[in-house]
Amino acid sequence: MGREAAIKRGRRQDGALRQREEQRAAEALRLAFERQGRESIPTPQDESKISVVFSAFAAPLLRALDRDGPAPLERVRSTLRLAQVVWDAALCADESRELVIRLTDELFGTLPPRERDEGRWVISTLVERRRTEFAHDRRVIVEFHVDRGSDGGLRLAVACAPASTAPTWPSSGS
């Protein structure tokens, strides 16, 4: 019985540690917003936390990164930035969305053929995931903070805004 109690106590302590790490990440993001003169708005009770939703959206990419062990945080951040661009572009007007696609295609056009094809596949896969599994979510991702917890797992804090209050992109003619 003593061993089982120790295991339960360890799980509670791990959960408390994870919760403290998540709170620290959220606090760091809140402070970053304050420094920029912006306000962080809490998630309404009837919605899933955007960090949970965005993490689920980017999960296939994150799993691929960590396939051979934990990826460096800068690679994780770059991958999440790409996922953020696709997430937010889905909420743009058609003209702006086409501009994002064209610019991304130009960027991938500078890569060797194999990497170019992989990059285009990743983008099209994310666009399809956004359209089929996450189309109902009208929040724009404004900023995120990611780090690794003491257990090596990723801790993600995400700030968002409703699509109707997000800044609009200039048209491609501007």
Q: Taking CA 87 as the corner, what is the angle to CA 142 and CA 72, rounded to the nearest 5 degrees?
A: 75
Residues ≥6 apart with Cβ < 8 Å to 39: 33
pLDDT of 53-112, one tens digit each?
A: 999 999 999 998 888 888 999 999 999 998 998 898 877 766 666 777 777 777 777 888
**Rounded Cα–Cα distance for residues 120 and 122 (Å):** 5
In a domain, 68, yes or no: yes
Higher pLDDT, 61 or 15: 61
In a domain, 174, yes or no: no
Q: What is the pLDDT of residue 171?
A: 40
Quote the number of domains for the chain: 1
pTM, entire model: 0.67
**Rounded Cα–Cα distance for residues 66 and 80 (Å):** 13
Higher pLDDT, 67 or 167: 67
Scanning the structure block, which residue is given the tokens 């409703």?
A: 162
In a domain, 173, yes or no: no
Q: What is the pLDDT of residue 131?
A: 86
Greatest mean pLDDT among 6-15, 102-111, 119-128, 141-150 lies in 141-150
Range of the domain at 63: 2-165
Half-sphere exposure of 137 (CA within 13 A, CB side): 26
In a domain, 29, yes or no: yes
In a domain, 8, yes or no: yes
In a domain, 33, yes or no: yes
**Rounded Cα–Cα distance for residues 114 and 118 (Å):** 6
Query: The tokens of 137 are what?
Result: 């979510």
